[in-house]
Amino acid sequence: HKHTGTLSSQNPNSRTIQILEEMMQIYDSLKDQWRTRSYRIAISTLKSSNDAYICTYEQAIALPGVGDRLAKKIVEIVSTDRLQRLEYAKLDPKDQILKLFHGIYGVGLVQARKFVAAGYNTLEDVKKHATLTEPQRIGIERYSDFKQRIPREEVRQHGEIVSTALKSIDEKVQSHVMGSYRRGAKDCGDIDIILTKEGTGVEELHEVLEKLVEKLFEQKFLMCGLAIARHDDGTKWHGASRLEGEDKPWRRIDFLVVPGEEIGAAFLYFTGNDVFNRSMRLLASKKGMRLNQRGLYKDVMRGKNREKMSEGTLLESKDEKVSFVTTSLEVREFSNGCF
Ligand code: DCP
Ligand code: MG
Ligand code: MN
């Protein structure tokens, strides 16, 4: 194989440039002149910085013509090898209505595209004409409630109500508020709560969850259930909760039941965010390891496209910090705000 040595293959930022160029073409086709221009400037800056591999936020923001949003996108590309926004845009360039429909609880991208293709323009259209599941119907009914950000203090209050109810069921079961709340956000999209108990498996905890949900419905704190999924690594429950008062908005609340042995890996996963999790998983795979919701595994064999060929042996699942540090040993710029 002859090495052609083109400029782009020598530039350490060629992958970043390639993805940004695709994104720019989409903005250009949307006649978004302002974004097209700022992408063009950033790309040419990257093309001329031949010897510096730009991989941190600080390096990116220091480049002429690169602002906060673009710097974050560059870090996302470098750490996850993809750009979420681009993948979204590729599905449908005219994505305003698509976004609206994808924002309905329980509606995925495939179904949202079907609604667009059917000619629906508003939530009313979908409600009237589409065949919906019960959770999706609630998702439309409560669309604006669920879209509102939840102030941090209110998330804390929901967490308190859950924790108090839990104590009356089993003193030893613990609840922790996770997701954006644990990352310190001043407002959150939903309320994420882990339920766990030292030395206890999923079966027993599943019963606790059932009792908890029943009790919280009786208290008129839970307003509806939306989904439940049982796995051997834990059970997920989705629903909505509301503080006392008719006029209070419904909030999306997620419970994740986790066996005591896997609490560390579950904490890492449920703290997120999702982009951070993908970065950590990719990094683990590059080190011959594997990271998921249940643990960190070593000696994982992979094929040439990183597909997994053996499960590997469990390295850590109980201690969050150990999982984190082992994975990111050499990559100190990764931080989810907890370490
Ligand atoms: N998560 C993930 N991948 C997904 C969805 C979730 O890794 N596709 C993990 C990381 C998230 C956590 O679960 O941080 C909670 O998911 P949420 O969707 O509730 O996201 P956040 O709590 O991070 O943000 P928001 O404030 O929007 O709820
Ligand atoms: Mg959340
Ligand atoms: Mn959630």
Under a CB-based contact definition with an 8 Å cutoff, are residues 57 and 50 in contact?
no
CA of 299 to the centre of ligand 2 (A): 32
Extract the runs of DSSP E, i.e. beta strands, from the chain: 150-151, 174-177, 187-188, 191-197, 222-231, 234-241, 251-259, 290-292, 295-298, 313-316
Given this model, what pLDDT does residue 284 score? 86
273 in contact with ligand 1, CB cutoff 6 A = yes
- For ion ligand 2, residues whose CB falls within 5 Å: 179, 190, 192
Given this model, what pLDDT does residue 325 score? 65
Given this model, what pLDDT does residue 327 score? 60
Ligand with the closest atom to the CA of 80: 1
Q: Please determine, for residue 198, whether its predicted confidence score (pLDDT) is greater than 80.
A: yes
In this structure, of 2-6, 63-67, 208-212, 238-242, the range with the lowest mean pLDDT score is: 2-6
Q: Please determine, for residue 221, whether its predicted confidence score (pLDDT) is greater than 60.
A: yes
Identity of the highest mean pLDDT range in 174-188, 229-243, 283-297: 174-188
Average pLDDT of the residues of the chain: 89
Bond prior to 273 in cis (omega within 30° of 0): yes
3-state SS track over 267-281: HHHHHCCHHHHHHHH
Amino acid identity of 208?
A: V
Q: Please determine, for residue 1, whether its predicted confidence score (pLDDT) is greater than 50.
A: no
**ipTM for the assembly:** 0.98
Identity of the highest mean pLDDT range in 89-98, 227-236, 246-255, 301-310: 246-255
In the predicted model, what is the mean pLDDT of residues 297-324?
83
**Surface-to-core class of residue 122, CB atoms within 10 Å of its CB (0-12 exposed, 13-18 middle, 19+ buried):** exposed
In the predicted model, what is the mean pLDDT of residues 44-62?
90
Each residue's pLDDT tens digit, 122-132? 999 999 999 99
User: What's the token pair of residue 161?
Assistant: 């109500």
Q: What is 135-195 written as a DSSP string?
A: HHHHHHHTHHHHHSPEEHHHHHHHHHHHHHHHHHH-TT-EEEE-HHHHTT-SEESSEEEEE
Under a CB-based contact definition with an 8 Å cutoff, are residues 260 and 200 in contact?
yes
In the predicted model, what is the mean pLDDT of residues 249-274?
94
Q: Please determine, for residue 238, whether its predicted confidence score (pLDDT) is greater than 80.
A: yes
190 in contact with ligand 1, CB cutoff 6 A = yes
Given this model, what pLDDT does residue 94 score? 61
As a whole number of angstroms, the distance between CA 223 and CA 253 comes to 10
Q: Please determine, for residue 3, whether its predicted confidence score (pLDDT) is greater than 80.
A: no
Given this model, what pLDDT does residue 332 score? 36
**Residue located nearest, by CA, to atom 20 of ligand 1:** 179
| More confident of the two residues 305 and 263 | 263
Please state at what angle helix 14-29 crosses helix 84-91, rounded to 10 degrees: 40
| More confident of the two residues 29 and 161 | 161
Ligand with the closest atom to the CA of 274: 1
Each residue's pLDDT tens digit, 130-187? 999 999 999 999 999 999 999 999 999 999 999 999 999 999 999 999 999 999 999 9
